[in-house]
Amino acid sequence: MRKPATPAQYEDEDALQIATADYLRLAWPSHLLWWHTPNGGERPTVERIDRRTGATYRFSPQAAKLKRMGTLPGVADCALQLPKGRMGFIELKVGDNKLDPPQEDFRDACLANGHGWALCRSVEQVEETCIRWLATFGLVPRARLAGRAA
């Protein structure tokens, strides 16, 4: 496996997400699902005028549609299926970025319901988290990061 960038090389969370997805495609057990939840990111906006006040505001029809469809603020970046009806959730952050209140609420709900939740700032931390979660069920990743023992 190509060695992912070191934490200092991640320009943004998108770069860390891509490195994480590269790792999970190779390492996560094939009989267990995983996915990225694209909650964040910029959405196209349009300018609107409030009919009552005449004030101009920016509005994102796509973001409004996603909200109506059930998008939940604070959902972690990666969801990983674990055996026996459990899930693991990984929130990715770069630098000193902190969790916002909806992310804290999501974390607390996951942990209260017996699911895994982790904050990772590098793909190496993602790997460590996956190893720990899988070991709970007697499983191991299918691959390891370059330079690490299998």
pLDDT for residue 5? 47
Q: Which CATH architecture has domain 1-39+74-150?
A: 3-Layer(aba) Sandwich (3.40)
Strand partners, 80: 34, 88
DSSP 34-97: EEE----S----EEEE-TTT--EEEE-HHHHHHHHTT--TT--SEEEE-STT-EEEEEE--TT-
Strand partners, 35: 79
Rounded Cα gap, residues 91 and 107, in angstroms: 9
pLDDT for residue 48? 81
pLDDT for residue 113? 96
pLDDT averaged over 10-residue windows placed end to end, the chain, 150 residues: 53 91 97 89 74 83 76 92 96 94 97 97 96 97 79
pLDDT for residue 56? 87
pLDDT for residue 149? 57
> 3-class DSSP state for residue 136?
coil
Structure tokens at 79: 């969801």
Sequence spans of domains, the chain: 1-39+74-150, 41-72
pLDDT for residue 59? 72
Rounded Cα gap, residues 9 and 96, in angstroms: 14
| Residues in contact with 98: Cβ distance below 8 Å, sequence separation at least 6, in sequence order | none
